[in-house]
Amino acid sequence: MPFDFRGKKVLVTGAGKGIGRGVAIALNKAGSKVYALSRTKSTLDSLVEECPDIIPIVADLCDWEDTREKLEQLEVLDGLVNNAGIGGHDYDAVDCPKEYIKHILDNNLLSAINCSQVVAKKMIESKVKGSIINCSSVGSLAAYPRALPYSVSKAGMDMVTKQFALELGPNGIRVNSVNPAVVYTPLVQNLVENGTLSLETVINNIPMGRILTMEDIVDPIMYLLSDHSAMVTGQMHVVDGGCMSSLIVKV
């Protein structure tokens, strides 16, 4: 499906690598003015080297006030992709420390609420009918070993999607989640190579018989940002090759 984002302006968080980087590049190629946010300057520098038109923003989304100040300086946007987030699979549920849980929620959930508030208010004030995409996970729909804070953060993200969709719908602003299974990003590739993650096990749980590629999740995000999905809002879009249809899921 061809996407034309000429004249559009979109912010992508967590854009230095992985899915966020893929979305930023795809939007740039489709003609959008792209603001790419990451806490790591070096990854943004390499992104700008690849796509010189992309505008980098270095910010730590866990710093609520600093993030708001930086986003308030931006022009009115047509789209937001809340992609920034981290894993949280280091503790069994009964041993998971409070500060660790708060750290994951700050990174994965509160940051998306903060960005959505700032961007949506500017859309409302300027009467822009925009689209917000929250990058969730199949971890919001099923429990995984040692994933208490991560799964809670993603389940919360799905409810944030519904709540914002309900309240922003009258303003013509759509809000959706994408819920991918394991995507073969450079991070996942490293986990496979060092033996932390079994690629065979992942693929065995996917009826379609392969792991998700970057394009498998970037394209649905592009669709949800575009006018092709003009009446789609408040929805969780599972992209998993069918693995959630199985009664047995292992990672």
Quick check: 138 and 211 in contact, CB under 8 A?
Answer: no
Cβ contact 11:81 at 8 Å? yes
Give the tokens for residue 247. 């009664």
With contact defined as beta carbons under 8 Å apart, do 161 and 186 qualify?
A: no
Closest CA to 121 of 151, 76, 184: 76
Catalytic residue among 8, 150, 184, 223: 150
Find the catalytic residue in 17, 154, 223, 250.
154
Determine how many CB atoms are found less than 10 A away from the CB of residue 155: 16
HEC string for 60-109: CCCCHHHHHHHHHCCCCCCEEEECCCCCCCCCCHHHCCHHHHHHHHHHHH
Is 41 part of the annotated catalytic residue set?
Answer: no
Which tokens is 172 given? 């013509």
Token output for 53: 């038109």
Is 81 within 8 Å of 135 (Cβ atoms)? Answer: yes
The reply to whether 17 belongs to the active site is: no
Q: Annotated active-site positions, please?
A: 150, 154
